[in-house]
Amino acid sequence: MSPLTNFSPALSELNHRHVASSTSTNSELIAALQDGTLDAATVHVLTAETQSAGRGQHGRSWQSPRGNVYLSLYHPVHMPVSGLLSLIIGLELAKMPVIQTVNEQLQAQGLTPIGVKWANDLGFYQSQASHHSELAHSAPDGSALDSAISLQRTLPFQKLAGILIEPVTKSGKLVGVVLGIGLNVKAAPTLTAQTSEGMSYQAISLQDIHELLHPEVAAATSLPDLQTLYQQMSKALMAAMIRFEHLAIEKPTGHTYYLDGFLQQFAAMDALAGLRLRVTQDYNNEKKVMTGVACGVDTHGCLQLQQDNGKISTLFTGRIDVIY
């Protein structure tokens, strides 16, 4: 059996501490590691029922109502961290039993399953069928829509979970990483234009998704309690770190066994695969906009975009909007 599947540490073995409230589980864990309260040579897990100053990517706020999972896991590292790590984490989280069960139920009803959205999220885009219907009605006599207007039509991402990876340094040296996960379980924050901070997404919870299922299916299943989710998530994060270390070990040798396996599995869980995107990038305060079709990620974890002229662009960062 693969070490990725049989490794199942108990929370107690991971130095798990739970608090009723934290400013930010990532910030609190990093501070304790840097001031020597926690040993930077071992794994640590911190969970909280709520956060007063939760953080997402690029310093954005992360609303933290009770009933959800707010978990940070520290892991020592001895190698540079690449963009692949967040995708590996996303993939391992998507393989958690709770997500697999929900996805089987969604797919049985012909609904879009939960996937991994480049570069740091779990969730899905709603079916485009209703939006295509809307487009047909808005173009009389089947005339073509003005392309500029068409580009403004976007599908919001239904965001279930976010990933925040932060390096931990001591005396200027990288000693490890903190992997922070926010998973909406019972409560999805209602995002306004201000709280979504310009991003094209809405929050959704496992409870919301559960309610999309047929009544008889929903009645026959229930969501795991938070303690079970902490265990599943910690196991997924440990598996992700083992997998990442395998990639780092095989890279100098030129072998790609683990990399090929990851890319194949990621392709099956890629929430952007085949969707038409508008990517907005900011270079020296100048915006650059590209459109094209998402066609996976490369060996460094960068998004691949096939533009309308056939050229494939490799993207390290940028705002992603799904257009139709």
Residue 129 has pLDDT above 80, yes or no: no
Residue 193 has pLDDT above 80, yes or no: no
pLDDT at 241: 97
* Cross-strand partners of 290: 279
Neighbour tally for 49: CB within 10 Å: 17
Q: What is the CATH number of the domain that holds 85?
A: 3.30.930.10
Mean pLDDT throughout 253-274?
A: 95
Residue 55 has pLDDT above 70, yes or no: no
Residue 287 and residue 238 share a domain? no
Residue 194 and residue 282 share a domain? no
Residue 307 and residue 230 share a domain? no
- Which residues, including other chains, have CB under 8 Å from residue 317's CB and lie 6 or more apart? 119, 281
Residue 251 and residue 306 share a domain? no
Q: Which of 74, 86, 62 is nearest to 167 (CA)?
A: 74
Residue 91 and residue 206 share a domain? yes
Residue 231 and residue 122 share a domain? yes
Residue 52 and residue 163 share a domain? yes
- Which residues, including other chains, have CB under 8 Å from residue 35's CB and lie 6 or more apart? none
Residue 94 and residue 105 share a domain? yes
Least confident of 70-79, 108-117, 280-289: 280-289
Mean pLDDT throughout 6-26?
A: 85
Residue 135 has pLDDT above 80, yes or no: no
CA gap 113, 119 in Å, rounded: 18
| pLDDT per position as a tens digit, 152-187 | 688 999 999 999 999 999 989 999 999 999 999 998
Q: What are 78's two structure tokens?
A: 């001895």
Looking at the chain, the whole-number percentage of residues with pLDDT higher than 90 is: 67
Neighbour tally for 42: CB within 10 Å: 12
Mean pLDDT throughout 84-102?
A: 97
DSSP SS3 for 163: strand
Q: How confident is the model at residue 254 (pLDDT cuts 50, 70, 90)?
A: confident
Residue 117 and residue 12 share a domain? yes
pLDDT at 80: 85
Residue 202 and residue 68 share a domain? yes
Question: 234: domain range?
Answer: 3-271
Number of domains in the chain: 2
Q: How confident is the model at residue 137 (pLDDT cuts 50, 70, 90)?
A: very low
Q: How confident is the model at residue 149 (pLDDT cuts 50, 70, 90)?
A: very low
Q: What is the CATH number of the domain that holds 301?
A: 2.30.30.100
Q: Which of 30, 26, 15 is nearest to 170 (CA)?
A: 30
